[in-house]
Chain A
Amino acid sequence: MSHYEAPIREPLVIGEKSYHDITEDIARPIEGKANKNWYMAFYIALAAMLWGFGCIFYTVGIGIGVWGLNKNIGWAWDITNFVWWVGIGHAGTLISAVLLLFRQKWRMAINRSAEAMTIFAVFQAGLFPIIHMGRPWNGYWVLPIPNQFGSLWVNFNSPLLWDVFAISTYLSVSLVFWWTGLLPDFAMIRDRATKPFQKKIYSLLSFGWSGRAKDWQRFEEVSLVLAGLATPLVLSVHTIVSMDFATSINPGWHSTIFPPYFVAGAIFSGFAMVQTLLGIMRKVTHLEDYITRLHIEYMNMVIILTGGIVAVAYATEFFIAWYTGSPYENYTYMSVGAATGPYGWAFWSLILFNILIPQLLWIKKIRRSFIWSFIISIAINIGMWFERFDIIAIVLSKGHLPSTWWRFEPTFVDVGIFIGTIGFFFVLFLLYARTFPVIAQAEVKTIMKSSGEHYKKLREQGIHGENH
C-alpha cells in the first residue's frame, strides 16, 4: 500500500522495528507505570492549575477590578492569552488536515500530539472570553438561542460573536477529527488490555472498531472529508480572531493585513509549541525513533516560512505607520513611538524573539539540532505572546486622544490566571500522554515499509519487501 520512496530520503522511523515493536512502543506509556518525572511534572502543573482556578474564582467573585485593567485599556493579558492560546491551537489542524491533503507522511509521527495540543490549547483559549466578561454568568447571552428577553438577539455585526462561532466550530471539528484518528489506536489498546476496567473504557472509546476492511475504508474516507472540512478552519479561526482588531478603529488595529498575518503568526506559534512539547515528549516517552531529526527539521522549515511572513507583516506595519504621516499612527505597536516609548522593552522583545532568533534556523546544523530547536521554540512562544501583548496593550495605551494615554500593569491575578492556564494545559497534556496513544501508530505502520529505516536498509541490500 505504501508508495516507493527514494533511498536517498531519510527514514521517518529509525531502528530495526517490526510492526509489533511499534505497538509495544506506543502502548508502553499507557500500560506501564508512570515514572517520578511524570508525577513531578503533573503535580507542578496541577498546583499551577489550582492556583489559576483560585484566581478565576476570585475574579468572578469580586470583579474584573482585581486585574490591572483601567478605563483606557479594557483588554490586556486576558485577550493576549486568548489569542496566544488560539494561535498555539493552530498547528494541530494544519498538521493533520492540510498535510494529510498534501500527503506529507512525516505528519504521522506528530499529528496526534499536535492535535491534542490544539484541543487543549483551545480549551485554555476558550476560558478567557468567558472570564474576561464583567458578568460571566450572563455569558450565554452571546449565543443566538431563543430567549425570554423578548426579541433580543445577538449582534451579528460584532467580531466577538464571530469569535464565538469560529472557536466553537474549530473545537468541535478538531475534536471529531482527532477522535476519528484515534479509533484504530484505541482499539489496539483495547485489544491488548488485560484489566477489565481498562478494557471497558477503551472499548467505549474505540466505538466498536473491529478492524475489518470496511472499517478501514470508512476511516480513510472520513479522514479525508474531515481534512477537507478542517482546512478552511485553519484559515478562518485566526482570520476571525484578527478581525477583533482589524474591524476596530484603533490605529494599529485597523489594518487590512491582519487576517493573513495572524494566520501565519498562529502557525508560526503553533509549530513552535509542537516543537516544545515534542522535544520533551520524545525524550520522556522514549519515542526518539519516531520523532526524528527529520521531523524537527521539517517543522523548523515551516517555522522559517511562517516566521518570515510575520516579519514581512511587521515591516509593512512599521512602514505604513510611518508612511501615512498621520499623527495617530505614531504610536502603533510597530512604530518609532512604540520603540522609544514606555513599552520599548516589549517592542524589542518582540523583534528579538520573533524575528531575530528564528533566523538562526537558516543554519542547517541548528535546524537539525534537538536542543537548539527546543530553545528557539521557547523563544518563539515568548515572542508570539509579546506580539499579542504589544498589539493589544501598546495600541490601547496610546488611543486617539492623548488625554486618554495610560499604561497597564498586571496584578497577581492576571499573572495567576495565565500561569493557571499553562498548568491546566499541561495537566491535560500529561494525562493525555499516559492514557492516549501519543503517536498514530496505525498510520505509522503504513509507512514502515516505505520510510522505515529497517526496510530501507533491507531494500538497499536487495532484499525486497513483501509488496515487491
Chain B
Amino acid sequence: MSNKKYWQSVEELKGNAVLEGLKQKEFVEKLPTDVFLGDKETLEASSTTRRDFLKYVGFSTAVASLASCEGPIRKAIPYVVKPDVNTVGIADWYASTIANGFDYANVLVKTREGRPIQIMPNKEANGTTNARIQASVLSLYDEHLRLKEPTKEGKKITWSSADSEIIAKLKTLQAANKPVVLLTGTIISPSAKKIISQLITAYPNIQHISYDAVSESATADAMKAVYGKRGLPNYDFSKAKVIASIGADFLGDWQGGYAKSYTASRIPEEGKMSYHVQLESNMSLTGANADRRIGLKPSEQVSALISLYNEITGASIATKPTVAEKEIQALASALKKAGSKAVVVTGLNDVNAQRIALEINKALNSEVIDIKKLSYVRQGNDAQVAQLQADLKSGAISGLITYNVNPLYTLANATDFAEGIKKLDLSVALSVENDETANAMQYALPVSHFLESWGDAMPTEGNFGLTQPTIKPLFNTRQAEDTFLKWSGDTTNYYDFLKSFWNDEILEGTSWNKVLQDGFYTKASGSPMTVDLSETNSEESAVSISEAASALLNNKKGNAYELQLYTSTAIGDGKLANNPWLQELPDPITRVTWDNYLAVSMADAEKLGFSNPVQDNGAINGNYANVTVNGVTLKNVPVIVQPGQANGSVGLALGYGRKQGLKEAMQVGVNAYPVYFGGNNVQYNVSIEKVAGWHHFACPQVQSTVAGRTEIIREVSLHDLHHEDPQESWNAKFKPSYDHKEVAAEKVDLWDGFNREIGHHFNLSIDLSTCTGCGACVIACHAENNVPVVGKKEVRVGRDMHWLRIDRYYSSKVETREEAKKMGLSGGDYFDVLENPAENPTVVFQPMMCQHCNHAPCETVCPVAATSHGRQGQNQMAYNRCVGTRYCANNCPYRVRRFNWFNYAQNKEFDFNMNDDYGRMVLNPDVVVRSRGVMEKCSMCIQMTQATILKAKKEGRAVKTDEFQTACSSACTTGAMVFGDINNKEDKVTKLKEDKRAYHVLESVATQPNVVYQVKVNNTHKA
C-alpha cells in the first residue's frame, strides 16, 4: 500500500477546522423544511404545493376506489363450435314421456340453449299434463333435495366401488340363498321390467315387489278375482252417457286420471253430453264437475254401491239405507236406461267394493270400461307390501333394494320399517331425491331425473311412450336401468339395450328414429310386459258377491267419524313436495296453498266448534284438531270447513308433512301417511278432538260465492241450452241505452276505435263447461312467464303473483237479492245468505287472467303510459316504464294485475327457485324477470305469438290456422282454453267468439275484453 495522501484542497491538506466541521454535516445548509411545512409564501412559490399534493392523493384514492366499485360483469360467451341442434334464441322441442310411478304422460319438452324449461302435453300422442307434470321440470333443478353423489353410510363413494361392493354383497347373499327384495314404485317401462327380470335371473333370491304410495291395489286384485288378470280396467268416458262415480276422483288422480276422455263426453253442442252423478264424501275435483253431487260418507257409499248393484242386477243383498235413497234409485234407473253407455266406478280401495263395481259394469254390459286393454299405471300390490313389512320385522329377508319409493315416508308404520332396515345385510336406495329412505339405507345411489334419462313406458296395453334425455345429468347420477344392468352382469348400456329391445319386441319394423321423434307408438297386438302381471293372490275369487257385500258393510263399526284420505291436485302423493310452484298452486276447491287440512262438513264443524274466521289482513284462520285413527294420533291438523263435505266424514290429503331434505319453507302440512293403514283410503272409527290455537292459512281467494253478481258466472241447463233463446234468458247481452235505443255495448263509444280487422287480433276462449279446474294452465303460465313464488306468508296476506288464477265459486242458498227477499230476508240478512255457500253447493271454476280489454281501464289511468294497447289486441305492460303507482291494479275490475312488492329474484327472503343458480336455469330467457316496484300481469304470451309470427315470416308463409298458442291454451288438457286470431275466419276461436254460449265477464262495465267465456252447461235434465 502506498502512503500517498490525496487531498481536495489546500485547506484539507492543512487540516482546516472549518472544513472538518463541514465534513461532519451531510447538508451544508439547514434544510428548508419550512418551505413545505408551513411557510405560506414559499409554499405557493414552489411548483408542487401541498394543495396539489392533497389533490393528487384525493384523486388517486377516488380513482382507485371507483375502479374497485365496478359492477359485476356477466359475460355471454358464444359457442366456439356451435352444436348443430342448438341455435341460441330458438327453442327445441323433444318428445318424451314421464312415468314416475304416480304420474304418466306423453309430453313435449321445451329446451332453450340446452336447458329444459317447460313441459307440454304431446297432443299427437293424446298426451295430457296435470299441474305436477307441468311443474316436474323445476324439480330437475332442485339442487336442494336431489341426491348428487353415490354415498355409503352418508359418505361419498365412487360409482365403481359402490357397484363392486354391492355386487359382492349380492353374490354372498345369493350363495347363502338369503332373500333380497327389490321394492320399486310402479314400473310401466317394458324394458326396465326386462332388465329387472334379468337381474332376478342373475340373482334368483331377489323378489320384485311393486309398491304405490297411494294404492289402487284393490282394483287390480278385484280384476284378478273376476277376470283372472292383474291390472286396472281402462275407461273411455267419452263413450259414456251416464256416469255414476262412488267416491272415484277420476278427474284427479284416481287410477291415473281420466280428465280428457271425460270432457270429451261433456260437449253439449253435439247432443251427447253425459249425465254425471258423483256420490262422495270429500268435495273432489270430480264432484265439483258433476251434474249432481251427493255427499255420502264412505260407509254410506258402500250401501249406495250395494243398492245400485241390487237395482241393476235385480239381486237383493242386504244393505243399509242412506240419506239419499231416492236419488240412488233414480240414478240406478238412469244407469239401466243408458245400458251399455253407462258406467259405475268407485274409489273405495277395497277388493269387495271394486268387485261389486266390476259386476255392475258387467251387468250393464258397459262399453265404457275396457277389461281387455288394461291400464298398468298402478301396479302396487298391498298384500306383498304387507308381507314385506312382516318379513322385515321378523328378519326373514336379508337385503332390500328400493327404487323410486320412499316407504319411510309413505308407509303407515314407517318406524317398524326403519327398524327392519337396520337389521339388513344389504340395503340400497336408488333414488332421485335425498329422502328419508335414501338416508336410512347403507347405500344411496342417485338416479337421474327423467329429463336426463332414456326410458320407455307402456301405460295401457299396446300403447307405448319413449323417454329421451333433454340435458346431460346435472349431478353424478346414473339411471337405475344402467345400475341394474351392471349388477346383473350385462355390460351393455341402457340406451343400447333400450334400442335393441324396442327393435326386437315392440317396433315391428318401424323406424326407431321416427318413434323417438314422435315419442309414442301404438302397437296393434301383443305385449312384452307379461312378466309379473299374472301373479298369485287368486283364492278370493271364490267369495260370492253377497259375502263381499256383507264384508264391506261390516268394515264400519260404531258411529265415529270416517276419514277419507285423498291426494291433492298440487302435491299428489308427495313426490314433488319440494317444488315451490306446486306448493303455491292453490287447491282448486278450497284455494288453500302451502297446506293440507282436515276438511269438515258445515254441520260437523258447528258440532265440533270449528270455524274459519277471516282476519283483518284478509286471510283466514282455522282451528286445530287432533285426529286419532287406530290409536295413532295426528296432532294439530288445521281444519277447513268444507261446504259439500258429507256429514260424518272428514277429508285429509296425503303427501304433505314431508321433512327430510326439504327446504324449510316446503316442510308444510301434516303427514297423513301414518294413518293410511293398509293402503286404505277410508279409515273408519276416527275420533276428532278440537285443540287450542289458530292455524294461519294462505288462500288467494277468501270469498267463495258470487254474492248475487250472477252476471259473472253464467250457467244453463242442457235443456234450456237447446230450447231457450239465449238472448231472452240464459245469456242475455248487456244492452245500454244510447240515443233512447237499446244497443250492443260495443256500439257505445266515446271515441273512434282503430280498425281491428287489420293484422292479427288475438282472442282466448274459455269454456266453463269443460274447465275441470285442474290447474295445469297455472303452472304452465309460471314456467312460461317466470312468475315468481312468494311463499306462504305473502300468499296469506294476498300477494300471490299468479298471472292466471282459477276462481272457484260455490253456489249460495239463493242467488239474487230478489230471491232473498222472497225468503223474507231483509237488510243485512240477505248479504249473509248471498255471501255464504250452501251446505252442498254446486261449484264453478273460472280461470281468470288479464282480459286484454279493448277498452282497458288500466291503460287510461297510468300516468306514465306504461301499459298500453297493442295492435293485436293485447294489453301490453312495459315493465321498464312502470313507476309502480298501482292505479292500474285498482282500476282493473278483474283484479288480475300483480305488483312486485319486493324483489323476488335473488333475494334471501324468498328462497325459492329464483334464488339459486340451479333453480334459475328454468327461467324462460324470452321473458324478463321483473324487479321490485313494477306491475306485471298476463301478456297473452306475447313472446309466443311473436315467435309464431316470426317463424311464419321466416318460412315465407302465412300463419297457419290455430297455429297461435299461449302457455295456458297449450297446457289445457280438456280443450277448455282455445286461443287464436279472430281475424282468421278459420281459427277455432273465431267461431267460439260468436257462439251462443259466449259471454264476457262484467259485460256491463263495457271493457270489451279479448277473453271470452262460454256459459257453463249442466246436464241437470236427467238422461
The chain A residues found within 8 Å of chain B, CB to CB, are 62-65, 68-75, 129, 132-136, 138-139, 141-142, 149, 152-155, 157-161, 164, 244, 247-250, 325, 327-328, 330, 336-337, 339-342, 396-397, 399-409
Q: Say whether B861 contacts A62, CB under 8 Å.
A: no
Instruction: Check if B799 sits within 8 Å of A402, measured CB to CB.
Output: no
Query: Is B898 in contact with A71, judged by CB distance below 8 angstroms?
Result: yes
Q: Counting CB contacts under 8 A, is B895 at the interface?
A: yes
Would A405 and B703 count as touching, CB distance under 8 A? Answer: yes
Cα–Cα distance between A406 and B887 once the two chains are bound (Å): 17
Complex A-B: 26 CB contacts under 8 Å = A63-B901, A68-B617, A68-B797, A69-B886, A70-B618, A70-B797, A71-B799, A71-B800, A71-B889, A134-B886, A134-B934, A134-B935, A142-B883, A154-B863, A155-B863, A157-B861, A158-B861, A160-B887, A249-B1005, A250-B891, A327-B710, A327-B817, A402-B703, A402-B705, A402-B706, A403-B846
Give the residues from 896 to 953 in chain B that come closer than 8 angstroms, CB to CB, to chain A: 897-903, 932-935
Q: Is the CB of A74 within 8 A of B886?
A: yes
Q: Which residue of B has the minimal Cβ distance to A248? A: B891
Q: Output the least CB separation between A246 and chain B (Å).
A: 12
A396: chain B residues at CB < 8 Å are 890
Assuming A134-B932, A164-B863, is B901 touching A407 (CB within 8 A)? no
C-alpha spacing A159/B797, complex, angstroms: 29
B655 to chain A, nearest CB (A): 26
B828 at the interface (CB under 8 A from A): yes
SS class, residues of chain B in contact with chain A: loop
Smallest CB separation, A62 vs chain B (Å): 7
Q: Which residues of B contact A132 (CB under 8 A)?
A: 885-886
**Is B553 among interface residues, defined by CB-CB distance under 8 A?**
no
- Across the interface, do B862 and A158 meet the contact criterion of CB distance under 8 Å? yes
Leading 7 A-B pairs by shortest Cβ distance:
A134-B884, A134-B933, A65-B901, A70-B798, A74-B886, A340-B828, A404-B895
Given A74-B889, A406-B618 in contact, is the A138-B883 Cβ separation under 8 Å?
A: yes
B674 contacts the other chain (CB 8 A): no
Listed residue (B864, B889, B1005) with the most chain A CB atoms within 10 angstroms of its CB: B864
A402 to B893, alpha carbons, bound, how many Å? 10
Check B893 against A70 for contact (C-beta < 8 Å).
no
Residue pair A155, B894 in contact (C-beta under 8 Å): no
| Chain B residues whose CB sits within 8 angstroms of the CB of A154 once the complex forms | 863-865
**B799–A70 contact, CB under 8 A?**
yes
- Nearest chain B CB to A15's CB is how many angstroms away? 53
Contact A158 B887 (CB under 8 A): yes
Contact with A along B599-616 (1 / 0, CB 8 A): 000000000000000111
| A residues less than 8 Å from B861 (CB atoms) | 157-160, 247-248
> In the bound complex, how far is the Cα of B864 from the Cα of A139, in angstroms?
10
Select one of A136, A152, A336, A409 contacting B617, CB under 8 A. Answer: A409
A402 and B809 form a contact (CB under 8 A)? yes
Tell whether A409 pairs with B887 under 8 Å between CB atoms, given A63-B902, A337-B831, A403-B807.
Answer: no
Residues 805-829 of B contacting A (Cβ, < 8 Å): 805, 807-809, 816-817, 827-828
Q: Does B701 sit within 8 A of A, measured CB to CB?
A: yes
Q: Is the CB of B722 closer than 8 A to any CB of chain A? A: no
Interface string of B699-711 (1 = CB under 8 A from A): 0111101111110
Contact between chains at A406 and B831 (CB < 8 Å): no
B1005 cross-chain contacts in A, Cβ below 8 A: 249, 400
Instruction: Report B-chain residues with C-beta under 8 Å of the C-beta of A73.
Output: 798
Residues of B within 8 A of A402 (CB): 703, 705-707, 709, 712, 809
Pair A69/B901 contact, Cβ less than 8 Å:
yes
Decide: A403 near B885, CB < 8 A? Known: A63-B900, A71-B895, A155-B864: no
Further 15 A-B residue pairs, CB within 8 A, beyond A69-B886, A249-B1005, A404-B895? A70-B618, A72-B798, A72-B895, A73-B798, A74-B887, A133-B885, A134-B900, A135-B882, A139-B883, A247-B861, A249-B891, A400-B712, A401-B893, A402-B703, A405-B702
Find chain B residues with CB under 8 A from A330 CB. 707-708, 817, 831
A residues near B887, Cβ cutoff 8 Å: 74-75, 158, 160, 244
Give the total number of A-B pairs whose CB atoms are below 8 A apart.
202
Interface size class of B (residues with CB under 8 A): 35 or more
Q: In this assembly, does B507 line the interface, its C-beta being within 8 Å of a C-beta of chain A?
A: no
The answer to whether B895 and A161 touch across the interface, beta carbons within 8 angstroms, is no
Contact A63 B708 (CB under 8 A): no
Q: Cβ of B415 < 8 Å from any Cβ of A? A: no
A159 to B890, CA, bound (A): 13
Whether A401 contacts B712 in the complex (CB less than 8 A), given A406-B618, A407-B615, comes out as: yes
Please judge, given known A-B contacts A63-B933, A154-B863, A160-B887, whether A340 and B895 are in contact too, CB under 8 Å.
no
* Chain B residues in 8 Å Cβ range of A406: 618, 702, 798
Q: In residues 776-814 of chain B, which contact A (Cβ within 8 Å)?
A: 794, 797-800, 805, 807-809
User: What B residues does A399 contact at CB under 8 A?
Assistant: 893, 895
Known: A70-B618, A250-B891, A399-B893. A157 touches B933 (CB 8 A): no
Known contacts A153-B865, A158-B887; decide if A400 and B1002 are in contact (CB<8 Å).
yes
Q: A139–B587 Cα gap in the complex (Å)?
A: 39
A135 (CB) vs chain B CBs: closest residue? B933
Residue of A133, A400, A401 with most chain B CB atoms under a 10 A cut-off: A401
Residue B848 is within 8 A (CB to CB) of chain A in the complex = yes
The CA of A156 and the CA of B590, in the complex, are separated in Å by: 43
Docked-complex contact B848 and A249, CB < 8 angstroms: no
Taking CB atoms and an 8 Å cut-off, the chain B residues in 398-440 that contact chain A are none
Closest CB of chain B to A394's CB: distance in Å?
Answer: 13
Specify which chain B residues have a CB less than 8 angstroms from the CB of A325 in the assembled complex: 817
A81 to chain B, nearest CB (A): 15
In Å, the complex CA distance between A164 and B893 comes to 25
- Please determine whether B860 and A71 come into contact, CB atoms closer than 8 angstroms: no
Please name the residue on chain A nearest to B805 by beta carbon: A403
Nearest chain B CB to A403 CB, angstrom units: 4
Q: How far is the CA of A69 from the CA of B934 in the complex (A)?
A: 14
Residues of B within 8 A of A161 (CB): 863
Chain B residues, Cβ within 8 Å of A149: 881
Is B873's CB within 8 Å of the partner chain A? no
Q: Please, which residues of chain B bring their CB within 8 A of the CB of A405?
A: 702-703
Task: List, in ascending order, chain A residues with CB within 8 A of B615's CB.
Answer: 407, 409
Q: Which residues of A contact B863 (CB under 8 A)?
A: 142, 154-155, 158, 160-161, 164
Contact of B614 among A72, A138, A407 (CB under 8 A): A407
Contacts of A142 in B (CB 8 A): 863-864, 883
Give the CA-CA distance A142 to B881 in the complex, in Å.
Answer: 10
Given contacts A134-B899, A161-B863, contact A64 B884 (CB under 8 A): yes
B736 contacts A by Cβ under 8 Å:
no
CA gap between A224 and B987 in the complex, in Å? 69
A interface footprint on B273-294 (CB within 8 Å = 1, 0 otherwise)? 0000000000000000000000
**Does B528 sit within 8 A of A, measured CB to CB?**
no
CA separation between A192 and B633, bound complex, in Å? 87
Task: Check: B975 CB closer than 8 A to any chain A CB.
Answer: no
The residue that B708 contacts in the complex, of A134, A160, A327, with Cβ under 8 A, is A327
Is B857 on the interface with A (CB-CB < 8 A)?
Answer: yes
Measured between beta carbons, the chain B residues less than 8 angstroms from A64 are 884, 899, 901, 933
Q: Which residue of A lies closest to B894 (CB)?
A: A401
Interfacial chain A residues near B805, Cβ < 8 Å: 403
- Could you say which of A73, A164, A403 has the most chain B C-beta atoms within 10 Å of its C-beta? A403
For residue B589, give the distance in angstroms from its CB to the closest CB of chain A: 14
Task: Report how far A386 CA is from B779 CA in the complex, Å.
Answer: 41
Chain B residue contacts of A69, Cβ below 8 A? 886, 899, 901
Contact across chains for A407 and B617 when beta carbons are under 8 A apart: yes
Assuming A155-B863, A159-B861, A340-B828, is B883 touching A134 (CB within 8 A)? yes
Chain A min CB distance to B269 (Å): 28
A397→B864 CA distance, assembly (Å): 26
The minimal Cβ–Cβ distance linking A365 to chain B, given in whole angstroms, is 38
Chain B CB within 10 A, most for which of A152, A328, A339:
A328
- A65 pairs with B902, CB closer than 8 A: yes
Residue in B closest to A65 when the chains form the complex, CB atoms:
B901
Q: A138 to chain B: closest CB distance in Å? A: 5
- B827 interface neighbour in A244, A249, A336, Cβ under 8 Å: A336
